[in-house]
Structures are given as structure tokens and as C-alpha cells.
Structure 1
Amino acid sequence: MAGKESFTREKAKITQAHVKRAQGLIARDALQEAGLEFSDTVCPGLVLRVRRRSGKWLLKRRDSSLTLGDMADLTVAAARVAVEEVRSAERRGLTKSMIALELDVFSRVTAKGIGTEQALDIAFTKPHPDDPVEMSDEERRRRGPWEWRDLVDLFLEMKLPTLKGRWRVQYERHLRRTLDDDFAWKLVQLVDLEDLVKMRDRVARKHTLSAAADSVEAVKAALDWAWRHHAPRAGLTRVEFPWWRERLTVEYASGTREHTPTIEELARTLVLAERFKALGGTRKETGPGMLAALWAVVLTGQRATALTGTLRATVRDWPERAGWKIWTWTAAEMKGAGHANGLKKRARPHALPMPPEALAALDRIGAPREGVYLFPSRVPGKRTTAVGMTQFLDRMKGKTKAARKGGVTLRPEDDLLNAHGIRHWTPHDVRRTLPTFLDMERLGGAGSAILAHARSKAKGDADEERELAQAITLRHYIHSQRLDLKAEGMAIWITAILEAVAQERARLGA
């Protein structure tokens, strides 16, 4: 079987000089092995594809390409006009065969030297007087009919304010993945199952099957919203039932994650994070706030969303235990750290005692000593985030990252975790290791308290919040938050982590 044809690709504002260069390459028979493609930066999707014997203008999409005409027949300006006419025809619902016929006529007429304006009049079907006239984006969104990009923008405008923190960012990413290629300009009323399946498959190829499943669910939600509340503007008035609910599916089921990293794996990761602060071609170092936040996740087992937002002002001394600090979070800060929508789990204020050994360890690795947050980002006044921590671990795992202008940030160090015998883990996995360890130490109750697991009989949110804000008496607050019990578990856990870190430093140093 012959291999897939390869092309050398260049992005540029295509001019007649590029056409002349292509003609010269053909005349010299200089393209015997690979072809050449010029991608136009002025008209997205327009490509001049040059092979050994010929050159053609294409409207290139991710999943398909449409031939506009021969390089010899269309000027650069005429090729750009052809792209716009194709998109206009698709928005009006013309079939592929009709569009191909019009393109053929346009190409042949233009080749005879007839001007572009006249060639347009001859080749392309004019909109019927009863067809909607061209309107601004604002007017089209107000009156309809909506294009797919309109549905995405308007649905997100409604949906995002209802979501919390990083889930808002992730949800928007799921839906905006569908805007690639010319699908964004297609009328919602013309979108069919074939379009949506192609979109699903494209996302799966470019990202993962899990990403495709997320995008499919977001698409279904957007179409449901448009069908129920804005059918006339969306062009869905004649849709009697939401066919996408049953017909658009993904053969994917997320499994329950059961990975529990060992204490040695966690400790070795921390040592590697210290030694490899700059990963990849940019050589940009991980900030001290992010490194400290990763340490804090391992030392405390707290959810990364709440932990990275810890305020320095809410940290207090524990007078009865010299050198100990109490880190605190309000119910609002704890909310959203659990379920995806931040509302399903009843949130309560939480406090965690930190032994002096843990504080000293954070100080030794360079944790910031000033600022609004315990774990500030490099941007003044901003905090580190759970998403940033995930990206930090991804860098250590050797995952590449998309860069500007279609580039890719490589990781020359490759997968540091795998290279050092560490199974991949996420910040949330620490929440399995910590209670497992304390269970073996017969301190299961302390593990549950440290992780803020609910008790069967807990005080109301309002009372606990008032105690935290006003500190009626520190002793009473210590009792209500079970700080003595938490301290017993934290002391043993911190000791185990720091001993493992010392061993890993010595091992890696040797």
C-alpha cells in the first residue's frame, strides 16, 4: 500500500509571487518526492497545493478538502472570493453537488479572462429576495437564524455564571473545541447527525476519547437549551424531539480511579520537583508558590482548589502547642472543592493544624513569606491554582504543550516520574494515601477529620462559621474542629513524609 502523500507546509499571506514560485517549481520538476502547500493567513482555510505537475486552490478543513479550481485559472484574489462564496452557499443550505458545479463554472469563466465581479454573477446562485439579507453578528443573534458559533457563545453566556472556578474554564473548553474549521459558520438548523459525529471524531483524534465525551455532553446541553428556550431564533422550530440525545453518543465510560501512590512515590516526586524546576525548551522555572503548593498537597491531603487559595490572614497561632499553626478555610472557600458544580456537597468551614516540622520544610524549599496568599503565583496579587498544579505535574510527566502559532513546547527531560519509578498520580490521589496510612496507624478517625469528611452529627454551618470568624474562645473552636485529633494524625503523617523525603534526597544524590 502506498504511503500517505507528504507536503512541505508554509503559512504566509499568499500573493502572485507565491503562484510564480509554484509555477517555477513545476517547470523545473523540483517536486519529485513531496508536494508544497501554502496556507493563506488572510483567508483561513485557503490553501495553494502544489504537486509535481500541477497546482490547485483548496478550501481545507480538518476532515476534508474542497477543490476551488486550478492555480492557472484563479488569481489569489479570485480564490479568496471563491472561499467566501462557498461559505455563503453552505449557510444557505446549498448541496455539495450544487456548490461544486458553481465552483467549476467560476473557475472556467475566470480562466477566460472575465473579471471577478462578472464571473461571480455568472457562476454563483444569488440569494432569493425572500432569503434573509446579510446582517451583523449582533442582529443575527437577536433575530436569528443562529450559526453554530452563535449558539456556543450565547449558551456559554448563560451557563458559565452558574459554574464554579476551574469547572467554568473546563466547560468552556469542552464546547469551544467544536468551533474548529467551517463548522462554526454553519446554521444550527442545518446541523445534522453526520456533522456532529465528525465533530466528535475530530475531538477524539486531536485530544482523547474522554475529551470527546465531555464535548458531546456540552453540545447536547447547548442544543437542549436552544431547542427549549430559543427554537425560533436557533432555527429548531420544526424539530419535534431532541434527536441528538439518543443519536449522538460516545463509547466511553469513566472508571473509578483507585490509584493510591506510595509515600515513597510522593516523596520522590517532591525531590524531583525541587531539582527540575525548569522543564522544556522555554527554561521558565516553576514559581516558589507553586512548588510550595505541591508540597502542601502532599503534607496535608487537602483539595488543591481550596488549598491553593489559602489566605495568610486566616492562619493563626496555636498557643497551647508551641510552633504549631492553624490553617483555616471558610465554608465558601471549601465549596466547589468537591463536586464538579460545587453545590452537591454540603460545605463546612475547615481547620487544619500544621506542626512546626511541616512549616520548617516549606520554609526550606523557599515558600513565600509574604503576600495575600500562602501560595502566590508569579503574578502579583494572584494565587496559584489547581489547574496550574495539574499542569506542573503534566510537565514532570513529559506531556507536551501547544504553543503559539501552532508550535509545540517539547519536554527534553521526557517523563521524569516514569524514569524514576513513580506511577503517575494526581493531587487528589493523596486523599487516598493519607487515610490509608493513618488507618494502619489506628488513626482512621484522624484521617477522616483531616480530610474534612462529614460527621453524622455535625454542627450547623452558620454556628461553625461564626466560631471561625469571631473565635468565641479558641479552646471551644479547637474542640468543635477536632483539632487535637487532627494534630495527632498530622504529626505521624508529616513525620513519615519528611523521613521519606530525606531518604529520597540521599538516594537521588547518590
Structure 2
Amino acid sequence: MAVAERGGYGRERTKLTQAHVKRAKGLIASDGLEGRGFDFVDTACQGLVLRVTRRSGTWLLKRRTGTVTLGDMDSLPVASARVAAEEVRSAERRGLTKRAIAQELDVFSRVTARGIGTEQALDIAFTKPHPDDPVEMSDDERRRRGPWEWHDLVDLFLEMKLPTLKGRWRVQYERHLRRTLDDEFAWKMVQLVDLEDLVKMRDRVARKHTLSAAADSVEAVKAALDWAWRHHAPRAGLTEVEFPWWRERLTVEYSSGTRDHTPTIEELARTLVLAERFKALGGTAKQTGAGMLAALWAVVLTGQRATALTGTLRATVRDWPERPGWKIWTWTAAEMKGAGHANGLKKRARPHALPMPPEALAALDRVGAPREGVYLFPSRVPGKRTTAVGMTQAMDRLKGKKKAARKGGVTLRPEDDLLTTHGIRHWTPHDVRRTLPTYLDMERLGGAGSAILAHARAKAKGGADEERELAQAITLKHYIHSQRLELKAEGMQVWVTAILEAVDQERARLGA
């Protein structure tokens, strides 16, 4: 077994041979490594190191100015790794950029892996200096003329794509594609990208994040390559590609399935109490803001989608004359559309109104819901609203999830998973939309539950007239009828009462 030394890597200095490569493969196969890994340092070539980790072996060239990855041990035998190291030193003396050197190393590694001799591989992969060599193009010129590198494709595709997306889906989509930009792959020419590159990218994302994240990144990559192939093939270097092979060959064995978790009323109430008591988590000075805490309460009290709810405008809240103390929260079709589907296109949205009983409003007031501002649930940043993403992050803190910090650091959660500690199964804000109708159905108010959640009726009319009524409230009586406010109010009264009673019980229980 290879034992790690101080610093996490074991170390052995010797003149390397293929026997050491064979030994390295054995360590991986037998899971015989301890610590972070093991370094075989070559005494015959200054700076050359074979680094072995639990999953792979990689040739590195270590110098005072940094470390260069030469290739993996499966592609480069020892002799070729030494040659590659010398070529890197030569290229640096000639002033080649890291990007150009990385591209040449990639070609050398691939050609060598196919059994081509070292001398021929050198001629194919590494350019030789010539007095008439053109000066390297600038980034702007390369993007205008080509050939593109992978990071060019990512930037240019996102420049076209992001304006067509809505809300948080825009942020998520960009994250899916930028996950592919690791240090080496980012500088590779698009015309040299093959299935092996894309599969490695997919697997790297899956290891670093999740299989679901890899599936998202793969779909974004396919869309980017489709766009380049159809509209910019000469610049992207895809002129010779006769069909989009990545469509069929790049896949992920993943299916999202259907989420059916339904938290109990007690779990929802206990979570609200914990959120009140643990506003600051992870040893930082930051606390959950008053707007965010109130928004979390409102999600539980109303079952509305977080995207629309967190954007509720104070100006669109109105009184209900026939029910003193009640308020009517309203959303336009456009506001509901952003919450209906990830891309805002697949569900026909309608204006929505929800009656709020005095008890619910008083509860929000008690937890510190802001009383002024453009939004009912404002962010700490003046003029900004809380967001569904922010609410997810607040829930993640309660679940004890670590968070990446600046300069490669990690924000820890000393309190660990508060939900599990207190007997609460993990839930998301959207899960309330299963608990609420399930409870009201047992109370023989299933129709009210459906109306509260803005589920469309079988014979619902078009949205234009409803939108006009929502904006102008020409006839409040007719508006109340068309929005089924009386039915919604009956269900809201029962649901809010159940939640507040459960909160009182949880406060007493946790206090004891």
C-alpha cells in the first residue's frame, strides 16, 4: 500500500520505467492508495512527475513558474512523457502561450495513444519555430475569423441564448454550460473536440457535482454545438462535420423521475420555528433577512410558487370590503408565467388572486415582515426583492449544506443538519403544493385547494378579460366571483388555522 506523507501525497524519487507505470495502475486497481495520492518523481528528467490518485495517473511537469499537465499515463509511455516535457520547455522559451502549449500536448497525447511513433508524433503535434510565423491572433479577431476555441463557443453561444431565457432559468442555463470550462478543455479548438473529450467532460461534471448536473450540462453542450454547426461552421471549424454526431453519441444515463415528497404539517411548522431561532448559521455574521423569513412563512401559509410569491408587489394588494381585515394578494399573468415552468413557455399562465385571512397577516407581521417598500418580501438590497434561489439557499443552510467561499474556501455549518436533527425530512418550498391540497381534500375542500394553487378549471375562459379585471377591478363583485375568492377563502381559513396551531405546538415543544 502506498502511504501518504506530510502534505497528502506519498513520494518516491527514481529513474522511471514502464514498471513504475504498471505499479501505478496496480495501486489504482487495488485501491491501494492512502491520503490524496502518490508521486513518482523522475530523476532522469527534471521536474517530471507521475501523479497517481484513486482514479487516474497523470504526467506533470513541475517548474518554479507552475505545473503543466502533459497527459495521462494510459496515453503516454515514460519515454514520450520525457519528450513532451522537453517540448514544453522549448515552447516556453519561444514564447508560446499556455493555451497553444496545451493544444499541442493534447494532440501529442492522442497521437501517441494510437500507436504512432514518438518522432512522427512530434512532427504532427508540435510546431517548429519559423521566422515567417504569423503573430498570434487576439481573442476578438479569432472570434471573428476562427477557428474558435471551446471557451469562444461557450461565450458566443451564451451571448445569443441568454436574452431568450427568463428569470432564474437564465442563471441556471449559464451555469450548466460554464461547468464545462476546466483549465484544459476551455482552450481546446472546437474542431479538435471529439467524443472522448465530451465524455470526459460529462464524467468530470458528474464527479464534481451530480449526475443531474451532468445531464443539464450535456444538453447545453449539445445545443451550443448545434448552433455552431448550423450557423457558424466555418468559424467554429465544423465545416467538415456532415452530421451532428454529438446528438446520438453523447448521452447521460439519468432520468429525473417524479418528486412526490409530501411534508407533514408538523414538519412544515417545526421548520418555521427553527428558521426563526437559527437566523445566523455557519459562524458568519450574516442572518436570514426579515423579508426572506417572511417569504418562507408565506410559502407555507399559501402554497404559492416561490418565484411569483417572492415578487409580490405591495401596490397590487387590496382590501376585501366584505371581509374586514382580509387582504387580496394578486399576480398578473406575466408574473404567474415566470413561475409556471423553467423556461416560462410550456404552461399557459393566468392572473391569480389569493385571499389572506387576518391571522396569516398577523403571523407575518410577528416574524418581522417589512411594512414598507415596493415588494412584500424585499431583499436586504434596497429596491430588490427576495428570490426563489435565495429561499432555496436559506433552506440549504437549515439542512447543513456547505457553501463554496472565496479563494477556494468553504463555509461550514457547525450546527449541521438542523432538519434531520429535529426529525424533519428534507423538503423544498414546492413540496408545500402537495401538502396543502392533500390536507384540504381530507377536509372535503379539495376544490378550494385546487383554486388556491391556481390550477386551471376545465372550462376556464381566456386570460385577456381576467387580466383587465385584475388591473382595473371594474366590478369587484364580478372579480371576486371569477377568481373564486369565496371558495379560496374557505380553504385558506382552514389551512392557515392548521398551520398556526401546529406552529404554537412546535414552539412549546422546542421550548421545553
Q: What CA distance in whole angstroms lies between the structure 1 residues aligned with 2:474 and 2:175?
A: 45
Q: Could you list the per-position Cα deviations for residues 372-416 of structure 1 after superposition, in whole angstroms to 9, with x for gaps in the alignment?
A: 000000000000000000010011101000000000000000000
Q: Could you list the per-position Cα deviations for residues 17-71 of structure 1 after superposition, in whole angstroms to 9, with x for gaps in the alignment?
A: xxxxxxxxxxxxxxxx99999xxxxxxxxx99899xx99436456996999999x
User: How many percent of aligned residue pairs carry the same amino acid?
Assistant: 82
Q: Could you list the per-position Cα deviations for residues 452-483 of structure 1 after superposition, in whole angstroms to 9, with x for gaps in the alignment?
A: 00111222211011101111111111111000
What letter corresponds to residue 432 of structure 2 in structure 1? V
Q: What CA distance in whole angstroms lies between the structure 2 residues aligned with 1:397 and 1:265?
A: 13
Q: What CA distance in whole angstroms lies between the structure 1 residues aligned with 2:71 and 2:486?
A: 61
Q: What CA distance in whole angstroms lies between the structure 2 residues aligned with 1:470 and 1:251?
A: 51
* 1:2 has 2:2 as partner: yes
What letter corresponds to residue 371 of structure 2 in structure 1? R
The 3 A distance-change label for structure 1 pair 55 and 174 is: closer
* 1:259 has 2:272 as partner: no
Q: What CA distance in whole angstroms lies between the structure 2 residues aligned with 1:446 and 1:131?
A: 75
Match for residue 462 of structure 2?
Answer: 460
| Cα contact 1:259–1:429 (8 A) shared by 2 | yes
| Cα contact 1:35–1:49 (8 A) shared by 2 | no
Cα offset for 1:129?
9.1
Match for residue 160 of structure 2?
Answer: 158
Cα offset for 1:164?
1.0
Match for residue 44 of structure 2?
Answer: none
User: What does residue range 41-440 of structure 1 map to in structure 2 within 5 Å?
Assistant: 56-57=62-63, 59-60=67-68, 84=96, 87-91=99-103, 94-96=107-109, 125-126=127-128, 133-440=135-442
| Cα contact 2:61–2:67 (8 A) shared by 1 | no
Q: What CA distance in whole angstroms lies between the structure 1 residues aligned with 2:204 and 2:68?
A: 15
| Cα contact 2:61–2:70 (8 A) shared by 1 | no
Q: What CA distance in whole angstroms lies between the structure 2 residues aligned with 1:97 and 1:347?
A: 52
Q: What CA distance in whole angstroms lies between the structure 2 residues aligned with 1:501 and 1:262?
A: 12
Match for residue 450 of structure 2?
Answer: 448
Q: What CA distance in whole angstroms lies between the structure 2 residues aligned with 1:55 and 1:456?
A: 68
Q: What CA distance in whole angstroms lies between the structure 2 residues aligned with 1:170 and 1:453?
A: 26
| Cα contact 2:151–2:187 (8 A) shared by 1 | yes
Match for residue 471 of structure 1?
Answer: 473
The 3 A distance-change label for structure 1 pair 77 and 191 is: closer
Aligned length: 453
Give TM-score scaled by structure 1 length: 0.82
SS of alignment partner, residue 437 of structure 2: helix
What letter corresponds to residue 475 of structure 1 in structure 2? K
Segment of structure 1 superposing worse, 195-204 or 86-95? 86-95
Q: What CA distance in whole angstroms lies between the structure 2 residues aligned with 1:416 and 1:158?
A: 42
What letter corresponds to residue 157 of structure 1 in structure 2? E
Give TM-score scaled by structure 2 length: 0.81
Q: What CA distance in whole angstroms lies between the structure 2 residues aligned with 1:375 and 1:77?
A: 58
SS of alignment partner, residue 353 of structure 2: strand
| Cα contact 1:446–1:488 (8 A) shared by 2 | yes
SS of alignment partner, residue 337 of structure 1: helix
SS of alignment partner, residue 326 of structure 1: strand
User: What does residue range 26-37 of structure 1 map to in structure 2 within 5 Å?
Assistant: none
Q: Could you list the per-position Cα deviations for residues 405-462 of structure 1 after superposition, in whole angstroms to 9, with x for gaps in the alignment?
A: 0000000000000000100000100000000001001111101100000111222211
What letter corresponds to residue 253 of structure 1 in structure 2? S
Q: Could you list the per-position Cα deviations for residues 163-200 of structure 1 after superposition, in whole angstroms to 9, with x for gaps in the alignment?
A: 11011100000000001112111000001111111111
Q: What CA distance in whole angstroms lies between the structure 2 residues aligned with 1:97 and 1:159?
A: 33
Q: How much is the aligned-residue C-alpha RMSD, in angstroms?
A: 3.3
Among 488, 498, 501, which residue is 2:500 paired with?
Answer: 498
SS of alignment partner, residue 179 of structure 1: coil
What letter corresponds to residue 372 of structure 2 in structure 1? E
Q: What CA distance in whole angstroms lies between the structure 2 residues aligned with 1:249 and 1:34?
A: 31
Among 464, 467, 480, which residue is 2:482 paired with?
Answer: 480
What letter corresponds to residue 152 of structure 2 in structure 1? D
Unaligned 5+ runs, structure 2: 10-34, 40-46, 52-59, 120-124
What letter corresponds to residue 276 of structure 2 in structure 1? E
Q: What CA distance in whole angstroms lies between the structure 1 residues aligned with 2:168 and 2:288?
A: 20
Q: What CA distance in whole angstroms lies between the structure 2 residues aligned with 1:247 and 1:389?
A: 38
Q: What CA distance in whole angstroms lies between the structure 1 residues aligned with 2:300 and 2:94?
A: 58
Match for residue 21 of structure 2?
Answer: none
Q: What CA distance in whole angstroms lies between the structure 2 residues aligned with 1:128 and 1:350?
A: 70
| Cα contact 2:375–2:385 (8 A) shared by 1 | yes
Q: What CA distance in whole angstroms lies between the structure 2 residues aligned with 1:50 and 1:235?
A: 34
Q: What CA distance in whole angstroms lies between the structure 2 residues aligned with 1:63 and 1:432?
A: 51
The 3 A distance-change label for structure 1 pair 35 and 502 is: closer
Segment of structure 1 superposing worse, 399-408 or 86-95? 86-95
Q: What CA distance in whole angstroms lies between the structure 2 residues aligned with 1:433 and 1:34?
A: 45
| Cα contact 1:312–1:372 (8 A) shared by 2 | yes
The 3 A distance-change label for structure 1 pair 4 and 256 is: farther
The 3 A distance-change label for structure 1 pair 126 and 248 is: same
Q: What CA distance in whole angstroms lies between the structure 1 residues aligned with 2:500 and 2:281?
A: 25
SS of alignment partner, residue 283 of structure 2: coil
The 3 A distance-change label for structure 1 pair 469 and 128 is: farther
